[in-house]
């Protein structure tokens, strides 16, 4: 094993959990090799993390925000200084190719940059509401909070929550995905190096049992969750039934509406990049292309672009053998139901990496909206093409999906673009953009089954989620009767 069995990070130190269940193997998806083992923490481990966070909270929350963010300036510098090493770690445990892994770490730096601006954008409000009477609103942290994260962005998704929640004065427990747990330990080390006091940030490894303990622990005030819709629903229900604040981001089924007037080259390259980037394991990945009227010229070009991709160089492996089997089953089933596989990545292998979980980009035409592959999240490098005669038909298909993470339209027409932006039922909408991720300071968050809870997870939207407001009224006026409430 390249890395020793992982430990939790509690109170500023790496500690062995009290787990009683055997640790899980951690795989390099490009080779199938075991690179580490991750412990499965129990409720007692969550409790010791909460106790450490609770002990740190009075000192951390009393530290002025301008001082707190100085640590995040340093953390951002450390992310940039260590980008090669951090990106290599992401590649090792998640499989994504080097350029994708670097982009992920750069995005973490951008998220941290936003947190550094929080003192500038979170001053309170004050108004003299009556002579000598002032109302003011100030934001206060919630206390001990938690973030539960998925496998597809081992560095970035933890950083959706950590810099903002912690800079706003909370103490945090991160429960990373057990499939990609190694980056979390490096994040903890860099935060420590940046000067974050012990107990302000914890890492608790594990799976379902640790998540349930987080949802149930009375000492945790709020939880951000990112993962599949199935688990997002479980976590949201359990956390809120325990009277916690919860924002749970779920899965996706993103529709790209392609009009016949779309720029052929730009649309084809963007759509293929969207469906195949990170091996299709992005919640913003193109999943369904809704081809409006005559778009064969674009589809033919997409097929050429996809066929030219070299697995192992241009596209990394999917996360596990089980994921590869699941994705293959979806394709087999669609083909058996009459769909036409025009680019087939099922039989992909990479020389020298025969045990890796590689799949090539796969494009399936003549899919109908009733097929399972058109409705469910496949989470692999697979794009299905559903055909429809007009833009209203395309919007009806998009609107019928219970998910609502992202949608995009490719067109040269401003009025069609505007029409789709207004009528798509998704929280993030693009025009001529394959992956319409909002960048800081704009917030990230979907609609429908792609997000449960109020607010968004990044940018300005996260400020409300990670804080509570205190409304203060003062009267420094000796005159009697100046205020009808006095």
- Figure out which of the listed residues 97, 226, 315, 363 binds ligand NAD, where binding follows CB under 6 A: 226
Active site residue 283: yes
Interactions with ligand NAD, residue window 155-174 (CB under 6 A): 157
Interface pick for ligand NAD out of 252, 315, 339, 378 (rule CB under 6 A): 252
Among the listed ranges 29-37, 147-155, 297-305, 426-434, the one in contact with ligand NAD (CB under 6 A) is: 147-155
Binding piece for ligand NAD, criterion CB under 6 A, among 2-10, 103-111, 119-127, 206-214: 206-214
231 is a site residue for ligand NAD (CB under 6 A): yes
Q: Give the one residue of 41, 94, 108, 149 binding ligand NAD; rule: CB under 6 A.
A: 149
Among residues 251, 277, 345, 448, the one that binds ligand NAD under rule CB under 6 A: 251
Calpha distance 155→146 (Å, rounded)? 16
Three-state SS for the chain is CCCCCCCEEECCEEECCCCCCCCEEEEECCCCEEEEEECCCCHHHHHHHHHHHHHHHHHHHHCCHHHHHHHHHHHHHHHHHCHHHHHHHHHHHHCCCHHHHHHHHHHHHHHHHHHHCHHHHCCCEEEEEECCEEEEEEEEECCEEEEECCCCCCCHHHHHHHHHHHHCCCEEEEECCCCCCHHHHHHHHHHHHHCCCCCCEEECCCCHHHHHHHHHCCCCCEEEEECCHHHHHHHHHHHHHCCCEEEEECCCCEEEEECCCCCHHHHHHHHHHHHHHHHHCCCCCEEEEEEECCCHHHHHHHHHHHHCCCECCCECCCCCHHHHHHHHHHHHHHHHCCCEEEECCCCCCCCCCCCCCCCCCEEEECCCCCCHHHHCCCCCCEEEEEEECCHHHHHHHHHHCCEECEEEEECCCHHHHHHHHHHCCCCEEEECCCCCCCCCCCCCCCEECCEECCCCCCCCHHHHHHEEEEEEEEECCCCCCCCCCC
Q: Does 477 interact with ligand NAD (rule: CB under 6 A)?
A: no
Under rule CB under 6 A, which residues in 322-351 are in contact with ligand NAD?
Answer: none
Tell me the backbone φ, ψ of residue 328, rounded to 5 degrees. Answer: -60, -40
96-104, 247-255, 288-296, 353-361 -> range binding ligand NAD (CB under 6 A): 247-255
Residue 377 binds to ligand NAD (criterion: CB under 6 A)? yes
In the complex with ligand NAD, the residue whose CB is nearer, 32 or 207, is 207
- Compute the least distance from the CB of residue 148 to ligand NAD, in Å: 5
Shortest Cβ distance from residue 386 to ligand NAD (Å)? Answer: 20
Q: Which stretch binds ligand NAD (CB under 6 A): 1-9, 75-83, 116-124, 220-228?
A: 220-228
Nearer to ligand NAD (CB atom), residue 185 or residue 227: 227
Measured in Å, how far apart are the chain's first and last C-alpha atoms? 71
Q: Which is nearer to ligand NAD, 46 or 252 (CB)?
A: 252
Judged by CB under 6 A, the number of residues near ligand NAD is 27
CA pair distance 420, 417, nearest whole angstrom? 5
Report the residue number, 149 or 425, with the smaller CB distance to ligand NAD. 149
Q: Rule CB under 6 A: say whether 405 interacts with ligand NAD.
A: yes
| Closer residue to ligand NAD (CB): 83 or 252 | 252
For residue 178, state whether it binds ligand NAD (rule: CB under 6 A).
yes
CA angle (123, 129, 133) in 5-degree steps: 90
Question: 10 vs 226, which CB is nearer to ligand NAD?
Answer: 226
Q: Which is nearer to ligand NAD, 234 or 272 (CB)?
A: 234
Please, what is the minimum distance in Å from the beta carbon of residue 298 to ligand NAD?
26
Which residue number places its CB atom closest to ligand NAD?
227
* Residue among 251 and 461 whose Cβ is closer to ligand NAD: 251
CB of 459 to ligand NAD, least distance (A): 13
Binders of ligand NAD in range 435-474 (CB under 6 A)? 446, 450
Rule CB under 6 A: which residues touch ligand NAD? Answer: 148-152, 157, 175, 177-178, 207-208, 211, 226-228, 231, 234, 249-252, 283, 377, 379, 405, 446, 450
User: Active-site positions?
Assistant: 283
């Amino acid at each position: 094993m390249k890395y020793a069995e992982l430990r939790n990070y509690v109170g500023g130190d790496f500690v062995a959990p009290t787990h009683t269940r055997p640790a899980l193997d951690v795989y390099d998806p490009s080779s199938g090799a075991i690179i580490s083992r991750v412990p499965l923490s129990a409720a007692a481990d969550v409790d010791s993390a909460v106790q450490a966070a609770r002990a740190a909270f009075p000192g951390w929350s009393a530290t002025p925000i301008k001082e707190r963010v100085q640590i995040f300036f340093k953390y951002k510098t450390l992310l940039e200084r260590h980008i090669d090493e951090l990106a290599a770690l992401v590649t090792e445990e998640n499989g994504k190719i080097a350029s994708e892994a670097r982009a992920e770490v750069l995005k973490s730096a951008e998220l941290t940059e936003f947190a550094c601006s929080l003192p500038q954008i979170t001053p309170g409000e004050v108004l003299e509401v009556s002579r000598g009477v002032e109302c003011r609103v100030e934001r206060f942290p919630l206390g001990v909070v938690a973030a539960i994260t998925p496998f597809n962005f081992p560095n970035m998704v933890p950083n959706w929550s950590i810099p903002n929640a912690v800079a706003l004065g909370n103490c945090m427990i991160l429960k990373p995905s057990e499939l990609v747990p190694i980056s979390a330990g490096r994040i903890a080390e860099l935060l420590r190096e940046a000067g974050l006091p012990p107990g302000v940030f914890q890492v608790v490894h594990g799976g379902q049992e640790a998540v349930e303990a987080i949802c149930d622990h009375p000492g945790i005030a709020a939880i951000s969750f990112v993962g599949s819709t199935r688990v997002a629903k479980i976590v949201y229900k359990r956390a809120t039934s325990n009277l916690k604040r919860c924002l749970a981001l779920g899965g996706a089924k993103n529709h790209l509406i392609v009009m016949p007037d779309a720029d052929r080259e730009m649309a084809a390259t963007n759509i293929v990049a969207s469906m195949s980037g990170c091996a299709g394991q992005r919640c913003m990945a193109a999943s369904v292309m809704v081809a409006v009227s005559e778009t064969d010229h674009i589809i033919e070009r997409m097929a050429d672009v996809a066929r030219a991709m070299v697995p192992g160089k241009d596209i990394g492996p999917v996360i596990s053998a089980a994921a590869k089997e699941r994705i293959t089953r979806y394709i087999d089933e669609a083909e058996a139901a009459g769909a036409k596989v025009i680019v087939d990545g099922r039989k992909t292998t990479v020389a020298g990496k025969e045990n890796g979980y590689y799949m090539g980009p796969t494009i399936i035409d003549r899919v109908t909206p009733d097929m399972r592959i058109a409705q469910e999240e496949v989470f692999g490098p697979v794009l299905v093409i559903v055909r429809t005669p007009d833009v209203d038909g395309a919007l009806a298909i998009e609107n019928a999906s219970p998910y609502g993470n992202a949608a995009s339209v490719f067109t040269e027409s401003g009025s069609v673009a505007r029409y789709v932006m207004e009528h798509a039922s998704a929280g993030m909408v693009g025009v001529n953009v394959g992956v319409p991720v909002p960048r800081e300071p704009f917030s990230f968050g979907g609609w429908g089954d792609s997000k449960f809870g109020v607010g968004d997870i990044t940018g300005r939207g996260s400020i409300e989620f990670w804080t509570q407001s205190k409304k203060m009224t003062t009267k420094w006026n000796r005159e009697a009767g100046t205020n009808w409430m006095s």
